Homo-oligomer: A and B are copies of this chain.
Amino acid sequence: MTELQLPTGFRAAALAAGIKPSGRTDLSTVASDADCTWAFAGTRSTTAAACVTRNRDLYGEGGPVRALLVNAGNANAATGTRGAADNADMADALGSVLNVPQDGVLTASTGIIGHLLPMDRVLSGIEHLPEDLGGGADLFAQAIMTTDTRPKTASVTLSTGARIVGTAKGSGMIHPDMATMFAFAFTDAQVDQQALRDAFPAIVARTFNAVTVDGDTSTNDMALVLANGQAGPVPLDEFLEALEGVMRNLARQIAADGEGATKLLTVRVSGARSEAEALNAARTCCVSPLLKSAVHGNDPNWGRVIMAVGRSGAAVKVEAMKVSVQGHPVFAGRPLPYDDATVSQSMKVEEVVFEIDLGVGEATGEAWGCDLSAEYVSINADYTT
């Protein structure tokens, strides 16, 4: 496989600092040769981690950034004032070795909650990061993984030759609320800071906030776009559409690689009163343990779709509602006759699609999840000890 290069002017480095017990790479950075405009979305959790809080503060200040520093294996969340100081020290250390201001370094930590970072190893690792600063996206995508079974990248080349390269990680504790844990996109396109920031929330709502694995919103979720302008300007509409494509691709990869997942669950809602209600109904289906279990068992138990839509609170006219499973109509205001064995057989594939018409409006929305397997329980019954 050819190594996926980062856009012009971005360079990655990764090493094993000894944060993950497995000895895999766990400390990484993507640095830019030039100042970047950027957009950010962080978790709405009221117990957000130090990295999210600090990035949000920097976002409010509005200055340019030059580098992103990520550690995996430790979330540095619920670690008190010491944890916040450690987070700032990490950024400071990378800023020093890269010769950029501390405020130009964003941070992201992922892994177990409630443990202090092994700062001696982290700081020693940061010292060595610049030595290898010529890596591409794959190296970086690998180093940010925790329970992921595979790295997640997506890229697109725009009409002007500018590129967008996205990376993401996440497998459990996935029910992002304003971003996911983590999605990072890098582009050499020149993009206006304010235009990017204005467009970003809606893109996140339709991509990362439409993904769920287990309904558990993380303390460390974040989505970031860094644009260093090295490839010059590009029409804004084209850029935003391409960015949404990259983010949608990554969002689907996260769902498909959910903890214990054997298949991707896609729910498309139409006929909703608003896009927000369509997305909410679709995502509530994707988070339902009952529907997820049925998908795991290839059981076309569409009654659980009716339940999940009802639970979502989205406006619906049940008598005008329609549901199909893998293209087979099963409900249209009343139960429709269908062959159980045929529909069940059609679910034995890598992606199972439910289509739901709420019968009250014109808005649509799509969300992604995965099936629920016994493997999910065994992965999570024994993570710390």
Contact = CB atoms under 8 A, between A and B. Distances in A.
Interface of A: 43-48, 75, 77-83, 112-116, 172-173, 175, 177, 214-219, 287-290, 293-294, 296-297, 299-304, 306-316, 318-319, 321, 330-331, 333-335, 340, 344, 372-374, 376-385
B381 A299 contact: yes
Dominant SS among interface residues on chain A: loop
| Copies of this chain per assembly | 2
B372 A113 contact: no
Q: Which of A293, A319, A376, A382 has the most chain B CB within a 10 Å cutoff?
A: A293
Nearest to A75: B303
B310 A47 contact: yes
A294 B46 contact: no
Contacts of A381: 293-294, 296-297, 299
Given A47-B306, A173-B290, A216 B377 contact: no
Given A216-B307, A306-B47, A311-B177, A377 B374 contact: yes
A115 B335 contact: yes
Contact of A47 (B115, B290, B318): B318
B46 A310 contact: yes
Nearest to A214: B289
A335 B78 contact: yes
Contacts of A340: 384-385
